[in-house]
Structure 1
Amino acid sequence: MRRQSRAQWAAVDHDWTGYALQPSSAKKFLLVEKQHVVRYARAVSHWEKELVATIIFAITYILISGRQLKILPLNRPAAALLGAVLMVSTGVMTPERAYRAVNYDTIVLLLAMMLISAYLYLAHFFEWAADVVLGFSRSPERLLLYLILTSGILSALLVNDTICLMLTPLVIAVIRRGKLPLLPYLIALATSANIGSVATLVGNPQNMIIGHFSRIPFSEFARALVPVALVGLAINFVILRFGFRKILRKAVIQRTPHTIPKLDSGLFAIVCIVFVSIFAGFVVGLNLAWTALAGAALVMVLARRDTHEVLKLVDWHLLVFFAALFVVVDGLSDTGLPDTIYSHLRPVFGSHVTTQSWNLAWFSVAGSNVFSNVPFVLVAGHWVERFAEPELMWKVLALATTFAGNLTIVGSVANMIVVESVREHLEVGFWDYARFGIPITVLTTSAGVAVLLAFR
């Protein structure tokens, strides 16, 4: 009897233990609820991160687009740096992710081209070139043409912002010495620097970024965009000559005795030889950044100049600006917002390559003037691979974001450099520039896209 009782109790105990080990309805409910809470927390966390990243991105872009807030009166590099710090400090991205976000190829390439430009400046090349242009010019119209060609060609070989920084004081001196009106020539300097810079991957910062992400060979890019730049420079000359025809006809170049620093032929020869070697490396497909930096380092060794003097001429503010901007844009990209924006815009661009080219061009012109061209390229670059012909679209993006800089005074850094440099001699109003900038932008962009489509 006892044995049977014990056996029965053992069976009951076994059944109860098995039942206890099975998840009850309450346990199942709590488990499901816990899973829902975790998923909800993750969703909220992602949503919060996306919101924070978007707010940081918006504030940064408002500040760098020239719309300074009273409570945050920051310039562009400081605004971009603040945005980068906020992206990390708010947890949108880790410090390690922020370091990886910086496109060092673009930074190094920009630094190298600035160093080479600095050595040309120390060789007094820009003073010599400005004087030669004035000497060959028999009329104000001819001077306008030569200035457009000089600015455009130099900007294709070096960085357009650097060319404007180096040439503007010299052009002002040459024009004032010749007793000529400043406005036509300064607008020509800025607009042709923007137009000419589209020709190569080293002409401007946005082209450098496009070259890095698209992997288009230097020679292939130049083959497609050099004709676009030449057509653009021709249109620029026609518009400015027509717009200033009355002023230019009345003007007479007055040649007065003057002295300029003698060209340092030895340093100039060194820079030219190294520069040709750098471009040969570009053409054969070597890494753009390190080829240019190797050339700059070689000039440093051969020139035997105090490097402190050279490094003072580097625009460190611009390098900080771009490095920080890479972090800000990458923080936004991690949220997937650029992809969401593209999904809504995709029907607008169309499906045929011709339609996509025109629509992307005009959208880029508008976007570059709202957000500035480099930030716009960093965002729009995520969309290009989804178009019918990605390589063509990279070229359209380069063309449109570059030519967009001519629309208004604040359209590009090159414009602002010229306008700020001439402020003590001439106040250039918004409409003074825009009445030429708008037709120049519209016609050069239209002609450029047509050329790309015709010869693709």
Structure 2
Amino acid sequence: MTWQAWAAIAVFSGAYVLIATEKINKVTAALGGAVLMFLIGASTADTAFFEQKTGIEWNVIFLLLGMMLIVAVLKRTGVFEFLAIWSAKRAKGRPFKVMVILVLVTAIASAALDNVTTVLLIAPVTFLVCERLNLPVVPFIIAEVMASNIGGTATLIGDPPNIIIAAQGELSFNDFLIHMAPLVVLLIVVFVGLCWLMFRKKFRYDPERVASIMALRERDAIKDPLLLIVSLTILGLVLAAFTLHTVLHVEASVVAMIGGLTIFAAAQVIASPVVMRHRHSNLSPNRLSGQSVFKDVEWETLAFFAGLFIMVGSLVHTGVIGTVASAASDAMGDNLLGASMVLLWASAVLSAIVDNIPYVATMAPIVDQLVNDAGNTSQSHVLWWALAFGADLGGNATAIGASANVVALGIAARAGHKISFWEFTKYGLVVTLVTISIVTPYLWLRYFVWA
């Protein structure tokens, strides 16, 4: 490797240590690392801003921005308060039952949408539920993020790495349902049990708070019915477009931005003086101003992603990740079972260290070559499922392992509930170890014993 490759490794390692130890703000560490990558020549304007494999993943950035705009407007309708009261009443205020409801909703929604969108939608509900019931927010957010990564593993659109794998391996939506979804159902059941073991000491039951919330009417939480109807209609169209991705051939980021800008424009029209004079809404027009809505966008989270993508892209550009991946593929050889096991566990480990999106983008061509060398049969496709399971579930291991983790922790920090790197990771490592350990015999039994 060149001196720039070694320098890129040093810069990335230093930035990662700063992010993990939280010696400085993680956004500062990521952007500082990106600046150093430019200074040492490991990244350039072309590779950072225009190259898909070595630069900022703009589809992720604009997907997040569009969904953040939608959530910012929805928050002003009172729908999150409605859902918070509804879920708390269904669980009769019992903390673990509340967590189970939110975890299951998150996992199912992540399979139908994608994990980042789901986290953006479910986090505001969680804050309100915990506030109403006097519960600690952190365990719920951590549980939901991990549920989103597990649930998103089930479908082609549930986790961004799956989309990359599907495109490279020419796999269909139904392929993921058949090969991934059955085990994901089991993983969610196991995860619910893990939630009880990990967080049970943090649950507390406040009879007075429960009594007060049971007396509330969900409908009273809605502040602006007209805006809610318009917003939910636009959101429904956005979600429908997400699920029809393979038919429409429109990127999720484009759909999200169209939806975000449309809902933002609709909110401005609804809040205009002419319209407001003919309405009976208890929502102040000031709360729908453009400045107010844009303040709710997680700009720091977007900046962190940009810095992280540039740093990881620099490792790709200088050949570091390619060298590691090629060495791994050489070590695998012709042993399909051994290759799938190594790929599964290596993907879990590496996806915990770098974001799983650039990791999968790098590994997908290598796995494609391995599959073709093995005859491109149904059995050789086990390598695709090993890569998907490893990358998706390995993303749970650390606070920066998956996009949903970074987004959720950013939202929590802005809401005053800071989750440290190690607080997330101490639970994430347990969940990743358990889930990958379950996937291991599944791949062996399904593709080698029962094949």
TM-score (norm. length: structure 2): 0.71
What fraction of aligned residue pairs are identical, expressed as a percent? 27
Task: Look up the match of 1:234.
Answer: 189
**Counterpart of 1:143 in structure 2: which amino acid?**
V
Deviations 1:46-104 (A, max 9, x none): x6xx212331343134314644799x94524x444444444444444553344332344
- Please state whether the residue corresponding to 1:314 is helix, strand or coil: coil
Residues 168 and 421 of structure 1 are in contact (CA less than 8 Å); yes or no, is this contact kept in structure 2? no
Deviations 1:232-284 (A, max 9, x none): 22111122235556876988682215574447431343234313431353142
- Partners of 2:184 and 2:349 in 1: how far apart? 20
Asked if 1:171 corresponds to 2:161, the answer is: no
Match of 1:95 in 2: 45
Does residue 1:333 correspond to 2:288, yes or no?
no
Aligned to 2:282: none
Q: Which of 195, 212, 237 is the aligned partner of 1:256? A: 212
Measure, in 1, the Cα distance between the counterparts of 2:421 and 2:195: 17
Contact 2:15 2:33 in 1 (8 A): no
Q: Distance in 2 between matches of 1:237 and 1:211?
A: 29
Shift in Å, 1:216: 4.6
Please name the residue that 2:388 is paired with. Answer: 398
Whether the aligned pair in 2 keeps the contact of 1:360 and 1:397 (CA below 8 Å) is: yes
**1:146 and 2:83 matched:** no
- Aligned residue for 2:229, secondary structure, equals helix
Aligned residues: 404
When residues 200 and 80 of structure 1 are mapped into structure 2, their CA distance, relative to the original with a 3 A threshold, is: farther
What is the identity, as a one-letter code, of the residue corresponding to 2:240? S
Return closer, same or farther for 1:450/1:133 CA change in 2, 3 Å cut-off. farther
3-state DSSP class of the match of 1:407? Answer: coil
Cα deviation code 1:352-406 (max 9, x no counterpart): 4333222212112222333454454454445332323686544433332332243
User: Which amino acid is 1:56 matched to?
Assistant: A
Q: Which residue of 2 aligns with 1:111?
A: 65
Query: Residue by residue, what CA displacement relative to the aligned partner does 1:161-180 show, whole Å, maximum 9, x if unpaired?
Result: 56546544542442353355
Equivalent position SS for 2:211:
coil
Distance 1:165 1:287, change over 3 A: closer
Q: For residues 322 and 293 of structure 2, what CA distance do their matches in structure 1 show?
A: 43
Please show how residues 115-130 of structure 1 align to structure 2 within 5 Å: 115-130=69-84
Secondary structure of the residue aligned to 1:368 is: helix
Tell me which residue corresponds to 2:250: 287
- Provide closer, same or farther for how the CA distance between residues 215 and 80 of structure 1 changes in structure 2, counting only shifts above 3 A: farther
Name the SS for the 1:254 alignment partner: helix
Matches within 5 A, 1:203-218: 203-204=158-159, 206-207=161-162, 210=165, 216-217=171-172
| Residue segments in structure 1 that go unaligned for 5+ positions in a row | 1-46
Question: Structure 1 residue 444 and structure 2 residue 450: aligned?
Answer: no
| Change in CA separation of 1:205 and 1:112 when aligned onto 2, cut-off 3 Å | farther
- CA drift of 1:215 comes to 6.1
Check 1:106–1:262 CA distance in 2 against 1; reply closer, same or farther (3 A cut): same
Preserved contact between residue 338 and residue 382 of structure 1 (Cα < 8 Å)? no
TM-score w.r.t. the length of structure 1 is: 0.70
Structure 2: distance between partners of 1:118 and 1:67: 28
Judge conservation of contact 1:409–1:433 (CA < 8 Å) in 2: yes
1:344 has 2:327 as partner: yes
Q: Name which structure has the greater RCO, CA cutoff 8 Å, separation 6+.
A: 2
Rounded Cα–Cα distance in structure 1 between residues aligned with 2:10 and 2:429: 26
For residues 150 and 360 of structure 2, what CA distance do their matches in structure 1 show? 17
Question: Residues 298 and 410 of structure 2 are in contact (CA less than 8 Å); yes or no, is this contact kept in structure 1?
Answer: no
CA contact (8 A) 2:63 2:256 kept: yes
SS of residue matched to 2:210: coil
Question: Alpha carbons of 1:391 and 1:316: their partners in 2 closer, same or farther (altered >3 Å)?
Answer: farther
Q: Is the 8 A contact 1:342 1:383 kept in 2?
A: yes
Matches within 5 A, 1:265-304: 265-289=228-252, 290-303=254-267, 304=269
The one-letter code of the counterpart of 2:66 is: A
Q: Is the 8 A contact 2:168 2:365 kept in 1?
A: no
Q: How does 1:358-397 map to 2 (within 5 A)?
A: 358-374=341-357, 376-381=359-364, 383-388=366-371, 392-397=382-387
Gaps of 5+ in 2: 271-288
Q: Which letter does structure 2 place at the counterpart of 1:131?
A: I
Q: Which amino acid aligns with 1:273?
A: G
1:374 and 1:66 map into 2 onto residues whose CA distance is 21
Contact persistence 2:107–2:148 (CA under 8 A): yes
Whether the 8 Å contact between 2:47 and 2:317 is mirrored in structure 1 is no
Aligned partner of 2:274 in structure 1 is none
Q: Is the 8 A contact 1:218 1:282 kept in 2?
A: no
Give the Cα–Cα distance (whole angstroms) in 2 for the partners of residues 385 and 79 of structure 1. Answer: 34
Deviation at 1:134, TM superposition (A): 1.0
Q: Residue 115 and residue 432 in structure 1: after superposition, are their counterparts in 2 closer, same or farther (change >3 A)? A: closer
Letter in 1 for 2:338: T
Per-residue displacement from partner, 1:90-123 (whole Å, max 9, x unpaired)? 4445533443323444444343343444443343
Compute the RMSD of aligned alpha carbons. Answer: 4.2
What displacement does 1:183 show? 6.4
